[in-house]
Chain A
């Protein structure tokens, strides 16, 4: 059990997927200007990433390896993710319209979020078992959500301060993210 707990702490705080592994930075900078969009994106990512991590694991071990076509991993995984995102969109629209309205516009963006494909590939490279895959995918996604929401909180404050013209927008965002990454690297002694 402590094994799983360590994996979770490490995925959320120490090897944070955004700040230490650099996966999913486009939505990180793109959807963090306002708190509510950041929350929506974070929730959508937690949902899809956990599902896709599990499904790509099943595809790898029950389809690709038995058929001896592991070299097509990239194509298969991206297709699975694209299909899954569409599927989740349709299911949510029918069964949970309120949730769909909240997550709606973020879902299509997730197909090209490299965190999703990245975590799927990490799961295979690290040779995680089924439950570890599920756990790691979920924790990574929570780490993504945590960093995104914290970052959005900081970014909302930018409206109140005067920023030098050339630094305005993405540039100051990147530097802030750097400082956040520095703060998160302080967790490295935890495990």
Chain B
């Protein structure tokens, strides 16, 4: 049961970046289209799962004084792997995401989960935690990407879906639109959870 619980909490209770307000930079920067959001989310998921497992395995060996440095080095190694793999197999996506791939290293979600979870718990729990939080992040980014892409380009995953006379609302795919859209989505999620609590 513990596995399921650690896995599912990433989808609502700790849904990043709404509940855990971490990792905002990639959320804002790459969600101009659904595809970019999905790609970024999956890259973060991969790094998070691997880093969580390794940190959990060697958590008793790492001296607590240098633990943050150790976490960063572990995360950085997986980021380099992701970077090289993406350049080799998904070249166009990797040019679109640009510097936000190396910046996964300093994504607070990775360090936050390492510090709050993986450095204290077993491998299986950490794996579930990483996978759940990572996929939750992926879903958030994809949803945000979909909203911005539909309103800003009239398309979803690159396919046109809006009617002929639709005029794209280009504000949504510009930087200010990212902030406003994320803010409104966050307010919506707050509103839903308040209603749940009131019941």
A178 within 8 A of B: yes
Assess the A174–B175 pair: CB atoms within 8 A.
Answer: no
Assess the A172–B183 pair: CB atoms within 8 A.
Answer: yes
Assess the A112–B111 pair: CB atoms within 8 A.
Answer: yes
- Per-position contact with A for B95-114: 1 when CB-CB < 8 Å, else 0? 00001001101111001000
Size of interface on A: residues with Cβ below 8 Å to B: 45
Taking the closest CB of chain A, its distance from the CB of B49, in whole angstroms, is 19
Assess the B25–A74 pair: CB atoms within 8 A.
Answer: no
Secondary structure dominating the interface of B: helix
Assess the B73–A79 pair: CB atoms within 8 A.
Answer: yes
A77 nearest in chain B by CB position: B102
Q: In the assembled complex, which residues on chain A have CB atoms less than 8 Å from the CB atom of B190? A: 165-168, 171
Q: In the assembled complex, which residues on chain A have CB atoms less than 8 Å from the CB atom of B29? A: 21-22
Assess the A178–B99 pair: CB atoms within 8 A.
Answer: no
Q: In the assembled complex, which residues on chain B have CB atoms less than 8 Å from the CB atom of A179? A: 176, 180
Assess the A175–B76 pair: CB atoms within 8 A.
Answer: no
Interface residues of B (CB under 8 A from A): 21-26, 28-29, 68-69, 72-73, 76-77, 79-80, 83-84, 99, 102-103, 105-108, 111, 174-180, 182-184, 186-188, 190-191, 194
Interface residues of A (CB under 8 A from B): 19-26, 29, 71-75, 77-79, 82, 111-114, 116-118, 121-122, 125, 164-168, 170-175, 177-179, 181-182, 185
